[in-house]
Amino acid sequence: MTAQSARSTQSARTARPAARRRLLAFGTLATTVAALLCAPSAPASAVASTAACPKYELVGLRGQTEPAGYGWVLGSIVSTVVAKTSVPVKAVPLAYDANADTLVGVNDGITKLVAYVEGRARACRSTRFVLMGFSMGAYVVGETLSTAPRYPGVVSARFSTATSARIAAVVVYGDAGFNAGAGALSAGPFTPGVSGRLARPATALAAWNARMRDVCNADDVICQSNGNSAAAHQDYVKYADATAGFVESVLTTLG
């Protein structure tokens, strides 16, 4: 998700509906951000409904224009979580159109995330889920879980109540919907009082406070509305160990 994308959507709040839809169709990451994506990851894949049912399944959503699979940023974090969590976790990248303009990508991400997790929940009656996302993937996860009204043109798909109850933990990074006033849910060295470019209401994710962390770096060009640093937006791999610790604490409590 780009800063230009976020600013366009923010201005759409006061525009007429048709203008809002046009403004939401914002572009891809700037060259300065894309240049930082230096390591390819595994190809995107999806677990078939007939696959073995793990106790926990981690679904990861890459950032806009990142390499297929988990992308560079989330890939390193997912690997650390799987390796360091004592409870076995099976990880899978969600294949969605992260190379599209943001509105298209967000809609595709929400639609496919809901369909995938609901399908797995039906096929695997005891499996619980961990959701993770970076940048546009973070926004997709946050919007899917949020109780706040969505922007015009964004799909309305949400998890069922039963499936929501089976989502054990959520961690997202560089989220345009980040709200600095969301309490313990808001994590990282963000600037106090500075929320994301498409900030959700502070209570939009309140139901997830104990299970979710929305991580934001200070001066991140996406999750800080006054941010100017593309480098800060890419600098989340350093939280891999802390993320593994958080996921471990949640999952071991559940057993």
Q: Where in the chain does DSSP place strands (E)?
A: 56-61, 89-93, 128-134, 167-173, 186-187, 212-215
Nearest to 6 by CA among 226, 203, 172, 187: 226
Q: 25: exposed, middle or buried (C-beta count within 10 Å: 0-12, 13-18, 19+)?
A: middle
Residue 9's pLDDT is what? 46
Q: Which residue has the tokens 């990861």?
A: 60
Name the CATH superfamily housing domain 3-14+54-254.
Answer: Alpha/Beta hydrolase fold, catalytic domain (3.40.50.1820)
Model pTM?
Answer: 0.82
Phi, psi of 135 (to 5 degrees): 55, -115
Q: Find how far residue 41's CA is from the centre of its chain.
A: 18
Pair 70, 78: CB distance under 8 Å: yes
Q: Which residues of the chain have pLDDT under 50?
A: 7-50
Quote the pLDDT of residue 5.
54
**Distant-in-sequence contacts of 100-104, Cβ < 8 A, 24+ apart:** 101/25, 101/26, 101/27, 101/28, 102/1, 102/2, 102/5, 102/9, 102/24, 102/25, 102/26, 102/27, 102/28, 102/64, 102/136, 103/21, 103/24, 103/25, 103/26, 103/153, 103/154, 104/25
Token pair in block for residue 84: 């360091």
Quote the pLDDT of residue 18: 33
- All structural domains of the chain with their residue ranges: 3-14+54-254
* Residue 167, pLDDT score: 98
Q: What is the pLDDT of residues 172-214, one digit of tens each?
A: 999 999 999 999 999 999 999 999 999 999 999 999 999 999 9
